[in-house]
Amino acid sequence: MSTLILNLKKLLAIAICLLVSMSMFAQEVTNETTADTSVEKQAQPTQLPLYYKNGGVWQDGVKISPELARRVLSGNSEALYRYSSGRSLYVVGQIITIPCVLVIVYGVILLANDEKNGESLLGIGAAGTAVGILLSAIGENQIKTAVKIYNSKSNNTVFNQINFGFTQNGVGLSMKF
Q: pLDDT truncated to tens, each residue of the chain (177 aa)?
A: 566 566 666 666 676 665 565 555 444 433 333 444 444 344 445 577 888 887 789 888 889 999 999 998 888 889 999 999 999 999 999 999 999 999 999 999 988 888 888 888 899 999 999 999 999 999 999 999 999 998 887 654 444 556 666 666 766 666 665
DSSP 115: -
b/e 150-160 (16+ beta carbons within 10 angstroms → b): bbeebeeeeee
Q: Are strands 62-63 and 56-59 parallel, antiparallel or unpaired?
A: antiparallel
Q: Which of 24-27's residues contact partners 24+ apart within 8 Å by CB, and which partners?
A: 24/94, 24/98
Question: Can you give the residue range of the structural domain that contains 150?
Answer: 2-176
Number of domains in the chain: 1
Q: How far apart are CA 105 and CA 108, in angstroms?
A: 5
Q: For 115, phi and psi rounded to 5 degrees?
A: -100, 150
Query: Is the pTM for the entire model greater than 0.75?
Result: no
pLDDT tens readout for residues 89-106: 999 999 999 999 999 999
Tell me the torsion sign for CA atoms 128, 66, 142, 162.
Answer: negative
